[in-house]
Structure 1
Amino acid sequence: MFEVLVYVYENYWRGDACPEPEQLGRKLSAQGFDADEIREALHWLDGLSLATRGVQLERHADGSSATVLPGIAADAALPQSADAMRVYSSAEQEHIGAECLGFISFLESASVLPGGMREIVVERAMATPGEPLALDELKIIVLMVHWSTGVEPDALVLDELCDASSDRIAH
């Protein structure tokens, strides 16, 4: 499934540029992807589309950002306080794994993943098969959430999400 998601990310710059599921399925099939992988990826993308429909990222003057969810006025939503902490359920801890939860925490502390987007990442991570989730798979999920919301991550963050850390040489 993740190979299909990478293909979609690389070939359709934004989520709104992606063709309808039926047409996308035919294109993926023509590229040689397995029918089960295509079906699984299209189902996952449909869930992503539902989760991110109407989501906007709002930047504040102090450099912080907040996720504005559909149906909630920007001024009505309470911002997450700086000392707030997300507590993960046992099922989330088991499925996502400690390494991936640590990476999510890193992205939050770097102000790359506001609370609302974090929740979409966690929800989409829970919608994947297998456990625990591999870090490379989580990075694809984070990229796809940014892709679907139309929020372009910072160049350094994009490098962190796209680069395989095992290929890096320490200086």
Structure 2
Amino acid sequence: MLEVLVFVYENYWRGDACPELHALERKLSAHGFEPDEIHEALVWLDGLNIAAQTICLPQETEAEWKPAPSDAAMRVYSVAEQDHLGAQCLGFVSFLESSGVLPPALREIVLDRAMAAPAPVQLDALKIIVLMVYWRFGHEPDALILDELCDDSEDRVAH
């Protein structure tokens, strides 16, 4: 499924540039993806579309994406979320949120779509999910965050 999502991300500039799911299914099949992978990805994308319709985010300026600080708000993860995502993925979500690039509404969509992915979700899969959520809203993260999302941490060399 993740390979299909990466293909969609790379081939369609924004979520609104993506064809309807039936047309996308034919295109994915023509590119040689397995029917089961295509079906899983289309169900996942449909869930992303439904989740995206439930919120309205400003798309004017990046400053509007930054969440307003609130000392009273705290996200508590359920046991199911902890089991499905693991500490590494939840830590990465926390990093994005504390960096001001993942507002609470988008965080909830990321978590919803991560819970819809096969368990256990690895960090690389979560990064693809985050990219797809940004993609759906037509938002390209800044260069440093995009580098963090696209970088393979396995190849990093400590200084």
The TM-score, its normalising length taken from structure 1, stands at 0.85
Q: Report the Cα distance in structure 1 between the residues aligned to 2:63 and 2:96, rounded to whole angstroms.
A: 18
Of 126, 132, 138, 1:150 maps to 138
SS in 2 for 1:85: coil
Do structure 1's residue 135 and structure 2's residue 123 form an aligned pair? Answer: yes
Deviation (angstroms), 1:129: 1.4
- Residues 141, 121 of structure 1: alpha-carbon distance in 2 compared, 3 angstrom cutoff: same
Do structure 1's residue 2 and structure 2's residue 32 form an aligned pair? Answer: no
Where do 5+ consecutive residues of structure 2 fail to align? none
- Residues 63, 128 of structure 1: alpha-carbon distance in 2 compared, 3 angstrom cutoff: closer
State the identity as a percent: 63
SS in 2 for 1:49: helix
Where do 5+ consecutive residues of structure 1 fail to align? 67-78
Aligned residues: 158
2:65·2:101 contact (CA, 8 Å) conserved in 1?
A: no
Deviation (angstroms), 1:153: 0.6
The residue correspondences of 1:85-164 to structure 2 (distance < 5 A) are: 85-131=74-120, 133-164=121-152
- Residues 30, 61 of structure 1: alpha-carbon distance in 2 compared, 3 angstrom cutoff: closer
Q: Which residue is equivalent to 1:76?
A: none
Q: Which residue is equivalent to 1:65?
A: 66
Deviation (angstroms), 1:57: 3.5
Do structure 1's residue 46 and structure 2's residue 13 form an aligned pair? Answer: no
Deviation (angstroms), 1:9: 0.2
Q: Quick one: which amino acid aligns to residue 48 of structure 1?
A: L
Deviation (angstroms), 1:59: 7.5
Q: Which residue is equivalent to 2:56?
A: 55
Q: Report the Cα distance in structure 2 between the residues aligned to 1:64 and 1:84, rounded to whole angstroms.
A: 17
Instruction: Give the helix-richer structure, 1 or 2.
Output: 2
